[in-house]
């Protein structure tokens, strides 16, 4: 079954967004207003960017526009293998819970967590 283009494009757009945020923060820019700056870079409204992040499908024309403004080759948003690099909300929640469990655990608890994770396939 072919991958879902809508999901792939959204996840890859979020990957480009994350790269933008990381670069902006590394350059010392304040986090506030970065979503608007990214929308401006893409030449879309902040409202449209918000919709894209959550549910709006990215059509072919918009996909090529995003790629062009982010400096990636045409068709980049359609590459399913890239989408695997972007954690979804459930994965982010799991990582946050795991981090909290690790930080709150004593030495034995940390060893137990490590053993449990190492035992996974």
- So what's the pLDDT on residue 91? 66
Instruction: Report the C-alpha gap between 120 and 5 in whole angstroms.
Output: 31
Q: Which top CATH class is 1-86?
A: mainly alpha
Residue 99 has pLDDT above 90, yes or no: no
- So what's the pLDDT on residue 2? 45
Per-domain residue ranges of the chain = 1-86, 87-121
pLDDT digits (tens, 9 = 90+) for 9-26: 998 999 999 899 989 988
Residue 83 has pLDDT above 70, yes or no: no
From first CA to last CA, the distance across the chain in angstroms is 25
């Amino acid at each position: 079954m072919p991958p879902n283009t809508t999901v792939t494009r959204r996840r890859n757009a979020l990957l480009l967004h994350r790269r933008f945020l990381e670069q902006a923060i590394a350059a010392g820019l304040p986090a506030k207003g970065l979503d608007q700056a990214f929308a401006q870079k893409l030449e879309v409204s902040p409202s449209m960017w918000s919709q894209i992040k959550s549910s709006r499908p990215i059509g072919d024309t918009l996909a090529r526009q995003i790629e062009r403004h982010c400096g990636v080759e045409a068709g980049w948003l359609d590459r399913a293998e890239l989408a695997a690099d972007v954690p979804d909300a459930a994965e982010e929640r799991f990582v946050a819970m795991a981090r909290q469990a690790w930080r709150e655990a004593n030495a034995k608890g940390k060893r137990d967590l490590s053993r449990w994770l190492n035992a996974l396939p």
